[in-house]
Amino acid sequence: MKKIYLDYNATTPVHPEVLDAMLPYFRDIYGNPSSVHSFGQKTRKAVEDAREKIAKFLGAENPSEIVFTSCGTESNNFAIKGITFANKDKNCHIITSAIEHHAVLEPCEYLSKKFGVDVTYLPVDKYGIVNPDDVKKSITEKTILISIMYANNEVGTIQPIEEIGKIAKEKNIIFHTDAVQTAGKIPIDVQKLGVDLLSISGHKLYAPKGIGVLYIKKGTKLHPLLHGGSHEKNRRAGTENVSYIVGLAKACEIAERDMDNESKRILALRQKLEKGILGKIEYTQINGHPEKRIYNTANISFNYVEGEGILMSLDMEGFAVSTGSACTSGSLEPSHVLSAMGVPPENAQGSVRFSLGHYTTEKDIDKLLKVLPKIIERLRSMSPLWEDRIKAIKNVK
């Protein structure tokens, strides 16, 4: 049975061109970039070339604004804790949103519990969008940081980052965005967005797991999380992960080259998937904004069934999808994102995220549309919620 992967927001496979670019740095070019000899000079050059490419990819003014980390989680932790610890003498307040990834929510919780930092979690509308006016209204004289994600991992909704950036600049407050789900999918220009800090993660754009970047605008003062050598200009100690850094730069280059075509092709496939599901299966809704959404993501609620049941049944048919966030699946708690959007718990429980990518074909979508209605019909036939619904309809008649 051909396996069909529709979980690209959880992770992506390494692009073959990325792997080719990385391989020599495992085998032949292995010097420590901090070493002065020729072995070290070669890997130092590779790291600095990669930094330059990634700076360009993000629209950064200077390559020194790019700091390599181990993942998106570390980049977010570095941004949030780094700014807070750099302001430790102040009574700190952070503004974030209720729909952030746990890699933002948890550091905020930690700072609140351990250090008494005041955190405001902004609400979102029914599409999952933060209102920039709410950001403005929440700012106090204690506010040191605004952290609002660029695109949401579960529903794909894109936030008005540029507008929030203007507010942050006006009020002279550091602005961080978690762009882990955006990088490689839509163009990013840190200067146009007006962000001071921006996180990306390699494994969401066809580079390996275990590499990330934090863009740090020149002049932004962060306290380091890791102490040791003077790597990354004293901002992140630890020998650079040379091959992965080279891989990430290659992935950014490929994304830039292919983004136009890929976005159109994948959007058409997602539209086909959504039209097919909503047309063939009753009591289904799309969660997320109709237009302001990353083109590869469709989060759909199937009423009267559990998302976990759909996931397992699809898995048996060879499809990989997700319920809620990949990092939290395994728990049957309704997703905090859907809850914040006001999706009723019974609809949130029956939600499935389909995230398409480079290897998704029209045939895959056709196959899914053939298999899924039968799965939903079977699951509903076993669901007490569905039975109640049918009884209610019969009583009305």
Residues that bind ligand PLP (CB under 6 A): 71-73, 76, 101, 103, 149, 153, 178, 180-181, 201, 203, 212, 326-327
Beta carbon of residue 10, minimum distance to ligand PLP (angstroms, whole number): 6
Q: How many helices (H) and strands (E) does the chain have?
A: 15, 12
Whole-number minimum distance, CB 35 to ligand PLP, in Å? 28
Closer of 180 and 379 to ligand PLP (Cβ): 180
Q: Which is nearer to ligand PLP, 71 or 111 (CB)?
A: 71
CA 383, CA 397: separation in Å to the nearest integer?
22
Residue 309 exposure: Cα atoms within 13 Å on the Cβ side: 18
- List, in sequence order, every beta strand (DSSP E) within 323-388: 351-355
CA–CA distances in Å: residue 218 to residues 124, 146, 199, 221, 229: 31, 18, 15, 9, 21
Of 164 and 375, nearer to ligand PLP (C-beta) is: 164
Say if residues 206 and 13 touch (Cβ distance below 8 Å).
Answer: yes
Structural contact between residues 78 and 222, judged by C-beta atoms closer than 8 angstroms: yes
Cα separations (Å) of 279 from 195, 285, 375?
A: 41, 11, 15
Q: How far is the CB of 295 from ligand PLP (least distance, A)?
A: 16
**CA 276/CA 292 separation, integer angstroms:** 21
Residue nearest to ligand PLP (CB): 72
Q: How far is the CB of 361 from ligand PLP (least distance, A)?
A: 24
Measured CA angle at 224 (ends 205, 172), to 5 deg: 85
Phi-psi region of 75 (alpha: psi -120 to 50; beta: other; left: phi over 0): alpha
72 versus 132: smaller Cβ distance to ligand PLP: 72
* Cβ-based nearer residue to ligand PLP, 180 or 252: 180
Q: How far is the CB of 202 from ligand PLP (least distance, A)?
A: 7
Give, for 254, the enclosing helix (H) or strand (E).
helix 242-280
3-state secondary structure 97-140: ECCCCHHHHHHHHHHHHHHCCEEEEECCCCCCCCCHHHHHHHCC
Closest approach, Cβ 103 to ligand PLP, in A, equals 4
* CB of residue 244 to ligand PLP, shortest distance in Å: 12
Judged by beta carbon, residue 327 or residue 390, the one nearer ligand PLP is 327
252 in catalytic set: no
Q: b/e string for 33-52 if b means 16 or more Cβ within 10 A?
A: beeeeeeeebbbebbeebbb
Distance CA(385)–CA(216), nearest Å, equals 50
Nearer to ligand PLP, 182 or 383 (CB): 182
Q: Which of 71, 92, 252, 327 is catalytic?
A: 327
Q: Are the CB atoms for 160 and 341 separated by under 8 Å? A: no
Active-site residues, by number, are 327
